[in-house]
Amino acid sequence: MIAESAMAGEAIALAQQEDDLLETAVREHARLVYRIAYSVLHNPADAEDATQEIFLRVLRYGKKLAAVKDQKAWLATIAWRVAVGRRKNTAVVAAGAEEPGETLASPGYGADRILLEQERNAVLERLISALPSQLRDALVLSTLEEIAPREVASMLGISEAAVRSRSFRAREILRERLLALTGPRT
């Protein structure tokens, strides 16, 4: 009887510990996870759905969560995989589907400026989507402030130098295409 109650108490304590760990992970890394998902999916609703899915996976991971050494890198990797999987399964929603000023346009600007920025961002998203996946992945992850190049390298399974060179090449391509779109300056 005593042993049973002790075991029950232990189980409750473990469950409580799991809850605490999960809550801490959500509070600390939810934004990073969201940004990674957003950088891949380019849609706030999809990014939030992906974030939900990622943390549900973490919930199923249960007891093993305590054994994870670097939670941030671990969550970033899961987020990246889930987001890439979603991108493959669903067509990327056009940026025009977003509500004006919802995400990327800076507050405090005039309506013309906001619309112009939205149009530019839509163009840029299309150009990024058209990049080869290796270059696109390196570029997208490099733009996230929270992730160091070392972590990007481990997420993509390549070296840091490769991350840098891919990111550089992606920027070069984007620059060329933007110039081609806007026309040569006089």
Partner 1 sequence: MDPMERERDRVVEGGLEDQWLESALIQFGKAEPRVGLENRLLANLRAERAQAHRRRRWWRALGMVASLAAILVAVRVEERDRERKPESTAATSTTNRAEARELVQPRPIPQIVHPATTHPATEAVLRRPAHRPTRDLAVASTPKLAQFPSPQPLSEQERILASYVAKYPEHAALVAQARAEALQQDSEEEAAGNVGNIR
* Residue in 21, 59, 73, 93 binding partner 1, rule: CB under 8 A: 59
Reduce the secondary structure of the chain to three states and give it as a string: CHHHHHHHHHHHHHHHHHHHHHHHHHHHHHHHHHHHHHHHHCCHHHHHHHHHHHHHHHHHHHHHHHHCCCHHHHHHHHHHHHHHHHHHHCCCCCHHHCCCCCCCCCCCCCHHHHHHHHHHHHHHHHHHHCCCHHHHHHHHHHCCCCCCHHHHHHHHCCCHHHHHHHHHHHHHHHHHHHHHHHCCCC
Site for partner 1 contains 75 (CB under 8 A): no
- Residue 33: which of 71, 84, 80, 65 has the closest Cα? 80
**Residues 17, 129, 143, 159: which binds partner 1 (CB under 8 A)?**
143
Is 179 near partner 1 (CB under 8 A)? Answer: yes
CB of 59 to partner 1, least distance (A): 6
Q: Give the residue with the Cβ less far from partner 1, 59 or 92.
A: 59
Instruction: Give yes or no for residue 154 binding partner 1 (CB under 8 A).
Output: no
Shortest Cβ 140–partner 1 spacing (Å): 7
Residue 80 touches partner 1, criterion: CB under 8 A: no
173: contact with partner 1 by CB under 8 A:
no
Residue 135 binds partner 1, judged by CB under 8 A: no
Q: Which residues bind partner 1 (CB under 8 A)?
A: 22-23, 26-27, 30-31, 34-35, 38-39, 44, 47-48, 51-52, 55-56, 59, 103-104, 106, 120-121, 124, 139-140, 142-145, 149, 164, 167-168, 171, 174-175, 178-179, 182, 185
